[in-house]
Amino acid sequence: MRELHTKLKSLFPVGDLTEQRSNLGFVTVPQEHLRAVLVHLRDREGFTHLVLLTAVDWLEAGQFQLTYLLSNRTAGKDLGVRVMLARDGATMQSIHDVWPTAATYQRELREMFGIDFPGSPRLHEEFILEGWNDIPPYRRDFDTLKYAQENYSERPGRVTHDPAAHMKQKLNSGGN
């Protein structure tokens, strides 16, 4: 892993390596170099399998983290390539031509996080949701419980008691 990281570092301005396991590492790459890094990893380093592409919402930092997880099966190694995006108007270049499956991931990210991938096929078609009318649901600022309570009705008649408060009221009412 370290060897690979040193090599990458000599070629691209990549960040430090987070070595999660001996065969799994994470590295942050500037947005504009992502494509080059991915193609390099795929064609020169044997990371031919795009395991997944997903996003993490760091709401407090105002950033989206995109994780491209690549796998080199023969070496038994995985490398997660992280890209940090500004959360406002998040846009990222599409890699559907590097891995055709990426188009599906990008479609999902567009729908669930609201990240735009210009040029990705069928990006704006509905994928999972239908008739969604709120902010993209996987964003941290979307409150699923609140949405559920506002849109769907619960069966009435549920009520609960806090044991501590209930005991205090039962045992110590009257101040003694």
Partner 1 sequence: MTQNAPFFTPDRSQYPAKKADGTLDIDIASGKYLKLWQGPNHPGITGNMSVELTVCGDEVVEGKTHVGYLHRGFEKLMERRTFIQCFPIVCRICVPEPDFNEYCYAAAVEELAGIKSPERADWIRALILEMGRINSYMMYLGGQAGALGLGVIGQWTTYARDLMLDRFEELTGARIYHMFIMPGGVRDGLPEGFDKRMEETLREVESTLKDVYDVMFCNAVFKKRTVGVGYIDPALVDSYGITGPNARAAGVAKDVRKDQPYLIYSQLDFEPVLGQDSDIFTRADVRRRDVLVSVDLVRQILAKMPRTGPLMATVPNVLHWKIPRGETYIRGECSRGEYGYYLVTDGSGYPRRVNVRGPSYTHAVSLLERMIVNLNISDVASLMVSLHTYPPEIER
Partner 2 sequence: MKDELKIRVVKGPDGVEFEVEPLKDYYCEAAPTVMPAAYIKVVEDLFNWARSESIWILGFGTGCGAIEMRPLMTPRFDAYRFGVQWRPTPRQANLFVISGYLSTKTLKRAIRSYEQMQNPKYVIGLGSCTINGGMYWDSYNTIKRLDDYLPVDLYIAGCMPRPEALLAGFQDMKKLIRAGKAEGANLYAENFEWYKANQKRVIHDWDMPDYNW
Partner 3 sequence: MSVRDLLSPFAAWKNLFRDPVTIIDPLNDRPGAPRYRGFHQNDMDKCIGCGTCETICQNGAIDMLPVDGIETKQGDSGLRPRIDYGRCCWCALCVDVCMTKSLTMSNAYTWVESDPDAFRFTPGVDKKHWDNAELGYHRPEEHQLMAKVRLPMGEMEPETRIESFAEIVNGYTIEQARLEADRCVSCGLCVATCPAHMSVPDYIAAVRDGDYERGLKLLYETNPFSGICGSVCTHKCETTCAARHDGDPIAIRWLKRHIMDQVTFEQCRDIVGGPRPATGKKVAIIGAGPAGLTAAFDLAKLGHSVTVYEAFDKPGGMTRWGIPEYRLPYARIDQDIDVIRSVGVDIRCNVRIGKDILLDELHNSYDAVLLALGLQLGRATRIPGSEHENVRKAVDLLRQATAFEDFGPPRQAVVIGGGNVAMDIARTIARLQKKEFGRVQVTLTALEDLAHFLADPDEVKEAGEEGVVILDSRGPRQVVIENGQVTGLKTWHVKAIFDEQGRFAPSYDETDEQMHAGSMVIEAIGQMTDVSILGDTLTEKLTWNRGRLQVDAGGRTSEPWLWASGDMVRGPDVVSAVADGHRVAQSIHEMIAETEQPK
Footprint of partner 2 on this chain (CB under 8 A)? 129-134, 137, 142, 144-145, 147-148, 151-155
Mask 60-79, x = binds partner 1 (CB under 8 A)?
A: -------x-x---x--x-x-
Count of CB atoms within 10 A of residue 108's CB? 17
Task: State yes or no: residue 10 binds partner 3 (CB under 8 A).
Answer: no
Task: State yes or no: residue 117 binds partner 1 (CB under 8 A).
Answer: no
Q: Which two tokens stand for residue 108?
A: 């999902």
Among 69, 63, 53, 67, which residue's Cα sits nearest to residue 120?
Answer: 53
Minimum CB–partner distance for residue 152 and partner 3 (Å): 13
Contact 1, 45 (CB under 8 A): no
Cβ-based nearer residue to partner 2, 16 or 126: 126
Residues 98-157 that bind partner 3 (CB under 8 A): 155, 157
**CB-based burial, 3-24: b 16+ in 10 Å, e otherwise:** ebbeebeeeeebeebeeeeeee
Among 6, 93, 144, 169, which residue interacts with partner 1 (rule: CB under 8 A)? 144
- Strand 77-86's sheet: what is its strand order? 17-21, 24-28, 77-86, 63-72, 49-58
Minimum CB–partner distance for residue 124 and partner 2 (Å): 14
Which amino acid is residue 35, in one-letter code? R
Among 101, 105, 129, which residue's Cα sits nearest to residue 115?
Answer: 105
> Which residues of this protein are in contact with partner 1, per CB under 8 A?
18, 20-21, 23-24, 26, 48-52, 54-57, 67, 69, 73, 76, 78, 80, 99-101, 103-105, 121, 126-130, 137-138, 140, 142, 144-145
> Which residues of this protein are in contact with partner 3, per CB under 8 A?
155, 157-168, 170-172, 174-176
